[in-house]
Structure 1
């Protein structure tokens, strides 16, 4: 069977008995275990919700902790809600992280929605206005990271330290292939979700192949692409479905139907690989209890032989 890379996505959803600091402790343990099991990357989502048990809103502060306590796995945010952030500040923070942890920092960027109260608190503007600023802010951020000599301007401009250092892997996030043109124009990788609300689940392999070809012709490298899914892997398909159904009654997140025993889960993932023409998936576990989450990634690592990839 062909190899496939598998990364993880974490929204901070845990058993309701956990307080916010316990969730972060659990996340660190999860990251350590995933690192040892051979998972390719761990992305932590930015979400701003009025929930007294929320462990984080912007997880950027967690990245050096997670990267510092692991060895191989790539660590990132998927995605930074750029419309409520200053591109200069994001560039400064992520470039420094990329050089503290070379080759291990991912910067995913999303044109996500926040509540009006959050929009006002973050940047004193309405959600509608914020959404309209995403493209210009994304171009500005990419400029800060990719155009170092132009920015420096022989000492008359600015430097994003460290000068001539590495930059993070930049990812454009989307729920369809509508963002492929943006990724091509700005030379970013591309991650597509098929489990978020409103996701387009059509395959469009030809469109993705055309994107790969155009990207290579323009930049001389092949872009990285992932497919984000949600669900559950457990010892039995019945147990996996029970966990997934429980989450679906509690939240809008986790409406993926990729679930089952290790063998069934593997079959579904490899079908997605063929249907969508991708070689990496990002998996968000629907399991709320630590023991189920840990068991799930152990089973996935074993069935896909991730430590042998």
Structure 2
């Protein structure tokens, strides 16, 4: 099994964005040392609780601070941007770190409507153009714009012999359909918990059309994991995640990722507790043996060999330990 890391850089209660980014760098270095395959960072806008909004800037920093691990975006919200500019950004990253850069693409806004309007000010955006943007981006990356293209002859610089690895990110069937149709790599955000999305990976693999660069389907699943020495400790650490995502579900983005003490003292209603119980079913929380068993079961369920692990704890040392225990559980 291949294990990777997805980091959203939540700013924990009592800490700053600068401290959080230093922790992100430490975690990337640990993941590099432990043998994790990839380290992806996300794109979110206008959020007090998240420390980064520009994945490509952070990728440059993290790739320079590590030596082996692939570093990439999870993902770039392509409808906001010019495919040409994204291609040039990531070709430059690939030139700086050949063979280590991933370009994960999403079509969600990555923020609330106000930030979306600001990002797209002065331009017409049609979400239905996302598949066309993916085609344009790949053509720029490989210098293969078709003769009849509206920008035929245009090259994305720098001109290099390699290209970043492109993945289409999705939490529902829609992106799985696009990835299958285009013969692209597919990353399924299982931890989002979108109802009815469980068959997305199966659909992708069953309907995959081979492409020039990808003769076979390649899929990974992003899952939420908290691993600790005991089941009780893992469950206690997870209370911060429970409150953070419960608030998000209720339309209230917290200004920070709460501590365990804040989460345990929160006045939950009976409905809140039922929602937390339901959502926890999609998360993997427990001892190394329990986490290993759940991941192996999910490997059979999805039929894939790579999991991108999201671990959210207020205690940063507990977060580092969770990734260490997971690596040890799989003999990395």
TM class, shorter-length: 0.7 to 0.9
CA deviation map 1:173-222 (0-9, x unaligned): 1113432332234342110011115254524675344245x427x65632
**CA apart distance, 1:147:** 4.1
Q: Distance in 2 between matches of 1:82 and 1:49?
A: 17
Q: 1:72 aligns with which of 58, 68, 71?
A: 68
Q: Quick check: 6-15 or 175-184, which moved more? A: 175-184
Conserved 8 A contact 2:179-2:204? no
Q: 1:281 aligns with which of 284, 290, 307?
A: 307
Query: TM-score scaled by structure 1?
Result: 0.87
Q: 2:242 aligns with which of 241, 248, 273?
A: 248
**CA apart distance, 1:242:** 1.5
Conserved 8 A contact 1:119-1:125? no
Indicate the residue corresponding to 2:326 in structure 1.
Answer: 300
Distance change >3 Å, CA 179–CA 54, structure 1 → 2? closer
Q: Distance in 1 between matches of 2:291 and 2:71?
A: 24
Conserved 8 A contact 1:175-1:199? no
Indicate the residue corresponding to 2:155 in structure 1.
Answer: 159
Indicate the residue corresponding to 1:44 in structure 2.
Answer: 41
Q: Distance in 2 between matches of 1:260 and 1:201?
A: 24
Conserved 8 A contact 2:73-2:102? yes
Indicate the residue corresponding to 1:119 in structure 2.
Answer: 116
Indicate the residue corresponding to 1:134 in structure 2.
Answer: 130
2:91 aligned with 1:104? no
2:219 aligned with 1:225? yes
CA deviation map 1:107-159 (0-9, x unaligned): 011111332221221121699x55344233222222212343758x9xx8222
Indicate the residue corresponding to 1:21 in structure 2.
Answer: 18
Conserved 8 A contact 1:14-1:289? no
Q: Quick check: 156-165 or 294-303, which moved more? A: 156-165
Q: Distance in 2 between matches of 1:58 and 1:205?
A: 28
Q: Distance in 1 between matches of 2:4 and 2:80?
A: 26
Indicate the residue corresponding to 1:257 in structure 2.
Answer: 283
User: Where does the alignment leave 5 or more consecutive residues of structure 2 unmatched?
Assistant: 250-278
| Displaced runs of 4 or more, over 4 A | 203-206
Q: Distance in 2 between matches of 1:207 and 1:121?
A: 35
Q: Distance in 1 between matches of 2:130 and 2:183?
A: 16
Conserved 8 A contact 1:45-1:59? yes
CA deviation map 1:247-271 (0-9, x unaligned): 1112348964211000000000000
User: Superposition RMSD on alpha carbons, in Å?
Assistant: 2.5
Q: 2:4 aligns with which of 4, 7, 20?
A: 7
Conserved 8 A contact 2:240-2:314? no
Indicate the residue corresponding to 1:31 in structure 2.
Answer: 28
2:53 aligned with 1:57? yes
Conserved 8 A contact 2:169-2:186? yes
| 3-state SS in 2 of match to 1:88 | helix
Distance change >3 Å, CA 200–CA 67, structure 1 → 2? farther
Indicate the residue corresponding to 2:260 in structure 1.
Answer: none
Q: Distance in 2 between matches of 1:303 and 1:73?
A: 20
Conserved 8 A contact 1:77-1:107? yes
**CA apart distance, 1:14:** 3.9
Query: TM-score scaled by structure 2?
Result: 0.81
Conserved 8 A contact 1:78-1:108? yes
